[in-house]
Amino acid sequence: MYDVNSKHAEDFINHEEILATLAYADENKNNLPLIESLIEKAAKRKGLSHREASVLLACEDPDLNEKIFRLAEQIKKDFYGNRIVLFAPLYLSNYCINGCTYCPYHLKNKHIPRKKLSQEDIKREVIALQDMGHKRLALEAGEDPVHNTMDYYLDSINTIYNIKHKNGAIRRVNINIAATTVDNYRLLKEAGIGTYILFQETYHKESYLELHPTGPKHDYDYHTEAMDRAMEGGVDDVGIGVLFGLDKFRYEFAGLLMHAEHLEAAFGVGPHTISVPRLRNADDIDADAFTNGIDDDTFAKIVACIRIAVPYTGMIISTRESQQVRERVLHLGVSQISGGSRTSVGGYCEPEPEDEKSEQFDVIDNRTLDEVVQWLMKMDYLPSFCTACYREGRTGDRFMSLCKSGQIQNCCHPNALMTLEEYLMDYASPETKRIGDMLIDREVLNVPNEKARAVVLENLKLIRENNRR
């Protein structure tokens, strides 16, 4: 029985409700008055339900689709301005006891080298990431209770936060690790994690059980209810996502939104971020063998419809996507991207030898962070290294209310400008610095409040004189 408030996975991600949603969307995909009215409702920027957003996703009318894209673009501008937050993944360990059929870390893969970073390795990798200019990391690991223990994660987080190197410090450590217990989530929160990220992979239970035939991840309910336990453990910033390509995208889209609705209903705070990864080739994985892949047009439509449905939720695109695809979807709703990423265990401070490749999937966008930053700025985006909200305790519902009230613009824009200037001074190539300084000089005029603008100008001057507060 569908119940958005229920604590049981199969109630809040209810199969019958998703099927009814898909049937409703299909019936109404050419119902122009209804679609017009949904676009009008969405323009109020209060979001849409999973049923409503599914109708927009199914819409076949080219003019209305154009309106959907324009609205997504406008909502993105209103809520996030032109800022794009940058981060990098750090793979800690690829030991894994699960049997996920799409992931090369699966237990039966006997030829992929298994690696786990020691605390010394982590220091070296993090210093290499800091030397690129990164301030935010997403820790990644397979699931292995012997090799990848909670103590190991806690030590790693502690190591990372305590590395001081030149002007750099990692200010926000997010973590993408297997579903765990309330007590462990509490420990992660106490260790100072930013967002706890866990992808559902697929919301379709039957497919989920087939795609995860063995190992602890096979337990659909335990996996699907992970964010509820995380919230109970005090982690109020959670990141959800599906791996597009595993099951039918319309099903996944409805499931994602139902998950967001559930978290908001049950805990008063929706997901902090939604990720939209697409399945990629990897060591012993042929993505073409999975028949539910989506093309770039569908991908763009999904991003636009998520933006409209949950305007206050950040959206993440990784280097699984090419420069071209990233360019296409950035303005439709994406607020965070990774740059200069490696998906191998180690590999930031020195490349892995050819015969020791431990990557999780093929990175499509292989550019350096400097190239990504320069590319963003040439398109008039403002790359942001800001982590102020997190450091000042504006997480969970406090962050959401800031975002929903539109106030995010007033504090984020100045912080983005100042952290970008720090990046330019410390890490950028001369050409990136030149482009960035021109952008900052233009953008500072857009700080609405006169007093705030004066403070930002003074801070920028100090940063440029290498005289930081």
Question: Which residue ranges make up the site for ligand SAM (CB under 6 A)?
Answer: 102-103, 140, 142-143, 176-178, 198-199, 201, 217, 243, 277, 279-280, 282, 285, 320, 360-361
Quick one: 168 or 277, whose CB is closer to ligand SAM?
Answer: 277
Whose Cβ is closer to ligand SAM: residue 48's or residue 337's? 337
Measured between alpha carbons, how far is 78 from 163 in angstroms, rounded to an integer? 36
How far is 328 from 321, CA to CA, in rounded Å?
A: 11
Query: Which one, 233 or 277, has the nearer CB to ligand SAM?
Result: 277
Pairing between β-strand 336-338 and β-strand 382-384 as defined by DSSP bridges: unpaired
Q: Which is nearer to ligand SAM, 38 or 197 (CB)?
A: 197
Phi, psi for 278 (deg, rounded to 5): -110, 145
Nearer residue to ligand SAM within complex by CB, 143 or 370 = 143
Nearest to 59 by CA among 346, 319, 308: 308
**Nearest distance from C-beta of residue 103 to ligand SAM, angstroms:** 4
SS3 38: helix
Of 140 and 443, nearer to ligand SAM (C-beta) is 140
CA distances from 169 to 123, 126, 343, 433 (A): 12, 9, 21, 21
Would you say 198 and 179 are in contact if contact means Cβ atoms under 8 Å apart? yes
**Closer Cβ to ligand SAM, 48 or 230, answer by number:** 230
Nearer to ligand SAM, 242 or 400 (CB): 242
Q: 197: closest CA among 166, 167, 176?
A: 176
What is d(CA 469, CA 466) in angstroms, rounded to the nearest whole number?
Answer: 10
CA distances from 6 to 97, 180, 222, 227, 234 (A): 30, 20, 14, 13, 19
Q: Give Dmax (Cα) for the chain.
A: 63
- Please report where in the chains the tokens 């997190």 appear, as a residue: 390
Write down the least CB distance from residue 313 to ligand SAM, Å.
18
Task: Reduce the secondary structure of 316-378 to three states and give it as a string.
Answer: EECCCCCHHHHHHHHHHHCCEEECCCCCCECCCCCCCCHHHCCCCCCCCCCCCHHHHHHHHHH
Q: Closest separation between CB of residue 214 and ligand SAM, Å?
A: 13
| E strand or H helix at 73 | helix 62-80
- Alpha carbons 155 and 376: distance in angstroms, whole number: 35
